[in-house]
Amino acid sequence: MMRLLIMGPPGAGKGTQAKKISEHYNIPAISTGDIFRANVSQGTPLGLVVQKIMADGGYVGDDITNDLVTNRLLEDDTNDGWLLDGYPRTLQQVEHLDDVMGEHGVHLDAVLCLVADVDEVVQRLHLRAVQEGRDDDNPDAIRARQEKYLLETEPLIETYRERGLLVEVDGLGPVQDVTVRIFNALDQHAKLVGESH
Ligand code: B4P
């Protein structure tokens, strides 16, 4: 049973590593970004609302995002744990997640933060723009996303540090190396938590 968050700046490798963690612990990786993108590509009413916000590198509104996560966490595949990728991103989302977990009587095991400097992540996103052609990987949106992250999301890391949940991992280097670092750091964290109880 594992309930995890994965955080880090846009381009730090959250989505990439979330897949590996999901397979390793056999828990669903729930990416708000992926869910929004699927809605955009299917042209759903939600997709029509979020398309421009995402293309401009902004954040989708808290109410919409919180509702989406609340409903997703009611699905059966989340009974034995989950990994949230890219959520929460604002203080309001942190508070909402706290409320939802409180109602379910569950708690987080760890909050994984991938550390990567701006130059590296911006370079990765420019590369992805060429490879995948994502709407929000244009230079203006990449800049907007980084600024938004620094202003609204990075401060949340301290909140989780104060709660003793933060597990920071260096996100630079080959994908496989980062994955190994993540599993080692999570094992270490679980051991420390176990010892303190
Ligand atoms: P996300 O889908 O979360 O997009 P992201 O921050 O760019 O992260 P992503 O997971 O795609 O990138 P990754 O770091 O894995 O969000 C997209 C948009 O959705 C947001 O801007 C916002 O508009 C909206 N949204 C989502 N959640 C929201 C919320 N909670 N509230 C409000 N709005 C929300 O990977 C980046 C690239 O690096 C990839 O190409 C990957 O292949 C590469 N890479 C990964 N690891 C690497 C490594 N070790 N070395 C080299 N390259 C690597």
- State the average pLDDT for the chain: 96
Residues with a CB atom less than 6 Å from ligand 1: 10-16, 31-33, 36, 53-54, 57-60, 65, 86-87, 89, 93, 124, 128, 136, 145, 175, 178
Please give the share of the chain, as a percent, with pLDDT higher than 90: 94
Other beta carbons less than 10 A from residue 128's beta carbon: 14
pLDDT > 90? residue 121: yes
Distance, CA of 167 to CA of 189 (rounded, Å): 7
For 64-121, give the DSSP string: HHHHHHHHHTTSGGGTTEEEEES---SHHHHHHHHHHHHHHT---SEEEEEE--HHHH
Strands of the chain (E only): list them: 2-7, 29-31, 81-85, 110-115, 166-170
Q: What are phi and psi of 97, to 5 degrees?
A: -65, -40
Q: For 10-35, how does the pLDDT look when each residue is reduced to its tens digit (9 = 90+)?
A: 999 999 999 999 999 999 999 999 99
- Tell me the CA–centroid distance for residue 172 and ligand 1, in Å: 15
Q: For 63-104, how does the pLDDT look when each residue is reduced to its tens digit (9 = 90+)?
A: 999 999 999 999 999 999 999 999 999 999 999 999 999 999
Distance, CA of 29 to CA of 83 (rounded, Å): 5
Amino acid identity of 184?
Answer: N
> Which ligand 1 atom is at minimum distance from the Cα of 136?
21
Distance, CA of 4 to CA of 85 (rounded, Å): 9
Please list the residues that pair with 38 across neighbouring strands.
none
Amino acid identity of 179?
Answer: T
Q: Which pLDDT band holds residue 196 (cuts at 50, 70, 90)?
A: confident
Contact 93, 60 (CB under 8 A): no
Amino acid identity of 15?
Answer: G
Distance, CA of 59 to CA of 57 (rounded, Å): 7
> Which ligand 1 atom is at minimum distance from the Cα of 128?
40
- Helices 45-55 and 32-42 meet at what angle, rounded to 10? 110
- Tell me the CA–centroid distance for residue 195 and ligand 1, in Å: 34
